[in-house]
Amino acid sequence: MLVAPLDANTLAKIANGICDNLLTCVIRAWDMTKPLLFCPAMNTAMWEHTITAEQIQRLKGFGYTEIPCVVKKLVCGDEGRGAMAEVWTIVEKVKMIFSERELPTQR
């Protein structure tokens, strides 16, 4: 599973076990033998908040793989860390995870 983008609200829900919508319910029921990757994306102030770091660590503790956000101009107009990783970066990470786990990448 790939969650891209993962906003601050959904990050908080997943980190705290809240499943009140389809995505959070699917993640809660996810087969932990299968990879789950997430791409955080949020305002720089949200990204830099202590709570965000704690929640990211909690997801990593569950065995999920982070594809880190990047620095660039955000939708809100700020420039800083918090933008979702570039699509090519995400694709390469997914391919790498599939390769490491010897999962099929083509049909």
Catalytic one of 19, 25, 39, 76? 76
Q: Which candidate, 49, 98, 43, places its Cα nearest to that of 72?
A: 43
Note the CATH number of domain 2-100: 3.40.50.1950
Q: pLDDT digits over 21-53, tens only? A: 999 999 999 999 999 999 999 999 999 999 999
Active site residue 76: yes
> Does the model's pTM come out above 0.85?
yes
pLDDT at 107: 58
**2-6 and 37-40: which strand pairing?**
parallel
Q: In the structure encoding, which two tokens stand for residue 52, read together?
A: 């965000």
pLDDT at 33: 93
| Sequence-separated (6 or more) residues with CB below 8 Å from residue 94 | 2, 37
